[in-house]
Amino acid sequence: MTDPNILSLLDPAALLDPHPIYRRWHEQSSVLWDSDIEAWLVTGYEESFAALRDAENFCQDWRRVGVDTPPSLLSLQTLDPPEHTRIRHLMLEGFKVADPDRLERTVRRTLDELLAAVEEQGPFDFVSKVAEPLTLRAVTHLLGVPEPDKDWFVPLSNTIVDGMDSSLRPECYEPGVAARAELTGLVGEWLKSPLPDGFTAHVVHRAPSAGVDHEVLLNSLRVVLQAGFQTASRFLVTGLLALLRIPPEQRVPVDNDKAVNELVRFAGPVHVESRACVHDTVLGDQKIRKGEIVSMFLGAANRDPKMFADPESLQWDRTPNRHLGFGRGPHACLGAQVAVQVARIAFGAIGHRYPNARLVSEPVPRPNVTEHGMHSLEVSF
């Protein structure tokens, strides 16, 4: 077997389209050892699905395999059941008290304002002019908290995403931890003044009776802000890029949940989710040992021909469509409904209003393997 050479995923061409590399790995094995980062690379759908659902054998809380985790990193995302269940249920309550109709109106109004500001001006950068401001407004509105200054928040938030690739770029680890701490400081500021009724006010009020530790609560609110902003804004960009690569005469407006989900399968931004193996076990045809890291390549699994017929094509009414773009199992995305709602509004409006929208230049990808995104996307509507 040839070494997969995971660092090749950082080449700009691979950041724009990693699928040729994923296919090469998958032809060797759906569960492949990489000696550079000493981890298993999982490209098969069935194997990814199995590991994501199996919190007993594959943990998100790395303390279970002896890795020290500072309290500042303990959150919804880094705990396992049963501790995870308490904070997850509390956050679910938060999502339930948020009003989807109000969110819909806010997103539509904000999108109209942003598009009005750019549609007459010729080519513009979709990332900074639409995707980021729209998503920041949506996520803070959902949380019922003040919107931070975008020029402070976005670079800080991107530093956290860079930190998620620290097995490939070790220099990104420390800045990522520091940026998380700074963002948790913002959450602490929110709680100093009374908040309007809604998501955050509800979970803060309910945390003591739900048995959720205050620091875990703060960190988890940070996770909702960070995960929600990054994934949803990056998806507007990776999704639009996929749509603009279709010739105008073959495009359809992506204005319904089914079509948005097909776009998440095909061009979702989250490419990797990792777990640590807790007990010696078997995944696919490989023996996995306690302590080893297993990285599920969701982007690859979402194009596994064993699961999806004609996986390289966009089929807007694909049914069923059990893609892994929102994860699966105990840590599956809590904001999937919100993400689909925002994307449906944005892609629907763009598709209907600007049928001849086009790319002005090739996008510049961010150097992120875990969560794909672009520095800029120059488009003309």
**One-letter amino acid for residue 127 of the chain:** V
Cα–Cα distance, 88 to 330 (Å, whole number): 9
The residue from 227, 345, 346, 374 that contacts ligand HEM (CB under 6 A) is 227
Site string for ligand HEM, 55-74 (x = CB under 6 A): -----x--------------
Q: Does 373 bind ligand HEM (CB under 6 A)?
A: no
Q: Which stretch binds ligand HEM (CB under 6 A): 123-131, 172-180, 269-277, 308-316?
A: 269-277
Minimum gap (Å) between residue 107 Cβ and ligand HEM = 11
Q: Does 157 bind ligand HEM (CB under 6 A)?
A: no
Q: Does 270 bind ligand HEM (CB under 6 A)?
A: yes
Q: Contact, 21 vs 8, CB < 8 A?
A: yes
Q: In the range 239-258, which residues lie near ligand HEM by CB under 6 A?
A: none
The gap from C-alpha 330 to its chain's centroid, in whole angstroms, comes to 16
Q: Are strands 374-376 and 58-59 parallel, antiparallel or unpaired?
A: unpaired
Nearer to ligand HEM, 123 or 330 (CB): 330
Q: Report how many residues bind ligand HEM under the rule CB under 6 A.
A: 29
Q: Does 268 bind ligand HEM (CB under 6 A)?
A: yes
Nearer to ligand HEM, 49 or 124 (CB): 49
Minimum gap (Å) between residue 335 Cβ and ligand HEM = 2
Nearer to ligand HEM, 18 or 327 (CB): 327
φ and ψ at 79, to 5 degrees?
-105, 160
What end-to-end distance do the CA atoms of the chain give, in Å? 47
Q: What are the tokens at 185?
A: 């400081």
Q: Does 374 bind ligand HEM (CB under 6 A)?
A: no
Place of tokens 């959450």: 187
Minimum gap (Å) between residue 120 Cβ and ligand HEM = 29
Alpha carbon separation from 100 to 23, 104, 112 (Å, rounded): 39, 6, 18
Q: Are strands 124-125 and 378-380 parallel, antiparallel or unpaired?
A: antiparallel
Q: Does 97 bind ligand HEM (CB under 6 A)?
A: no
Q: Does 133 bind ligand HEM (CB under 6 A)?
A: no
Q: Which stretch binds ligand HEM (CB under 6 A): 105-113, 306-314, 333-341, 355-363?
A: 333-341
Minimum gap (Å) between residue 249 Cβ and ligand HEM = 27
**One-letter amino acid for residue 353 of the chain:** R
Which residues contact residue 341 at a Cβ distance below 8 angstroms, ignoring those fewer than 6 apart?
100, 103, 104, 107
Which residues contact residue 349 at a Cβ distance below 8 angstroms, ignoring those fewer than 6 apart?
108, 111, 112, 115
The residue from 180, 331, 344, 366 that contacts ligand HEM (CB under 6 A) is 331
Minimum gap (Å) between residue 103 Cβ and ligand HEM = 10
Q: Does 77 bind ligand HEM (CB under 6 A)?
A: yes
Helix axes 214-244, 199-210, angle to 10 degrees: 140
Q: What is the dihedral of CA 24, 25, 27, 32, to 10 degrees?
A: 170
The residue from 232, 240, 276, 379 that contacts ligand HEM (CB under 6 A) is 232
Considering only CA atoms, which of 235, 328, 340, 319 is closest in space to residue 275?
328
Interface residues with ligand HEM (CB under 6 A)?
52, 60, 76-77, 88, 139, 142, 223-224, 227-228, 231-232, 235, 264, 268-270, 273, 325-327, 331-335, 338-339
